């Protein structure tokens, strides 16, 4: 949602960003409603202020009321703004639909006048709407006296014709489409501007939701993997009983193998260990296991160990083994 908001503010004209924002606000409200029903006071502190929630709901109502639920990716494709939002836009769309109905009537009329049943009216960006038939039936159209058909193009297998009324109708459709897209663009930009001016509200919601997302994942991971809460101590200390490397452990479990846990005891008096052993003996795994446990603790997650006492650290240095497939 933060990326979507930055694109909306930069006026990138992708209506799907507004649809994404609307969906985010809806889902975020569902999560905050869950927290309201909780008896845990700390969880209730994660709910944004009523002012922010009301502002977000107002933004969602604006989007839902004016933007189609699944709009096109490109604003220039049209069909972004809902019917009923702007009378002039509705009128322009009605002209387009009415004229397209006229074109279907022209096709029946021309087929009857020329006695060419496979005559079709088609469209391309160069000619607009035109009449197409096989070269075999081309002479029938040329010899028709009731309607003035003008030959505009010959291809290997087909001939293409135009009439004055078809050309005029084609131009009217083109004008109404161009005007409707221009009008849609103006409406869309006003919506984006209004939302951009209140972007702080969405930033607050997204930060709350991302925090809830992270701590929910921490709790699920800790519960499923049997992680424990370490004790935090003021003195320089690493006391880890039966620690495990979470990534290696997860990899071994898939092969039906248990990770062999190990201990680490270090303090200000015993702050250096020297590890020796052959390549692929597990030295790097142990080194980084300690680093990961310290990191998990300091980002607020339980750790893969039986128990631990840890102080707070400001740096981690570790190495990668010669043949490391982790």
| Residue pLDDT, tens place only, 168-189 | 988 888 899 899 999 999 999 9
pLDDT tier for residue 326 given thresholds of 50, 70 and 90: low
User: pLDDT of 242-252, one tens digit each?
Assistant: 999 999 999 99
Distances (CA, A) of 288 to 4, 243, 293, 318: 36, 11, 8, 6
User: pLDDT of 51-93, one tens digit each?
Assistant: 999 999 999 999 999 999 899 999 888 899 999 999 999 999 8
The pLDDT value given to residue 322: 62
- For residue 132, give every residue at least 6 positions away whose Cβ sits within 8 Å of its Cβ, in sequence order, or none: 119, 120, 121, 122, 158, 159, 160, 161
Asked if 205 contacts 25 with a C-beta cutoff of 8 angstroms, the reply is yes
Beta bridge partners of 309: 231, 239
pLDDT tier for residue 96 given thresholds of 50, 70 and 90: confident
């Amino acid at each position: 949602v933060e990326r979507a908001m930055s694109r909306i503010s930069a006026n990138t004209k992708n209506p799907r960003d507004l649809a994404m924002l609307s969906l985010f606000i809806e889902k975020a409200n569902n999560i905050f409603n869950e927290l309201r029903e909780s008896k845990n006071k700390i969880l209730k502190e994660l709910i944004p202020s009523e002012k922010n929630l009301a502002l977000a709901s107002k933004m969602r109502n604006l989007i839902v009321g004016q933007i189609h639920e699944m709009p096109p990716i490109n604003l220039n494709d049209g069909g972004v703004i809902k019917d009923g939002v702007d009378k002039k836009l509705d009128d322009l769309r009605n002209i387009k639909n009415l004229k397209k109905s006229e074109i279907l009537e022209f096709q029946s009329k021309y087929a009857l006048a020329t006695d060419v049943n496979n005559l079709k009216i088609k469209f391309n960006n160069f000619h607009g709407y035109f009449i197409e038939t096989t070269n075999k039936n081309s002479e029938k159209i040329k010899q028709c006296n009731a309607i003035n058909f003008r030959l505009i193009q010959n291809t290997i297998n087909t001939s293409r014709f135009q009439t004055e009324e078809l050309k005029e109708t084609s131009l009217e459709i083109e004008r109404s489409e161009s005007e409707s897209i221009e009008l849609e663009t103006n409406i869309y930009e006003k919506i984006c501007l209004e939302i951009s001016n209140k972007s702080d509200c969405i930033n607050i919601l997204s930060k709350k939701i991302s925090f809830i997302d992270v701590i929910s994942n921490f709790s699920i991971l800790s519960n499923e993997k049997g992680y424990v809460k370490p004790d935090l101590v003021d003195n320089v200390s690493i006391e880890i009983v039966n620690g495990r490397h979470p990534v290696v452990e997860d990899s071994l479990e898939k092969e039906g193998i248990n990770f062999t846990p190990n201990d680490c005891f270090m303090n200000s008096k015993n702050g250096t260990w020297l590890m020796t052993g052959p390549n692929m003996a597990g030295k790097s795994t142990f080194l980084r296991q300690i680093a990961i446990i310290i990191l998990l603790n300091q980002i607020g997650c339980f750790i893969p160990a039986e128990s631990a006492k840890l102080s707070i650290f400001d740096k981690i240095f570790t190495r990668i083994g010669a043949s490391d497939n982790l």
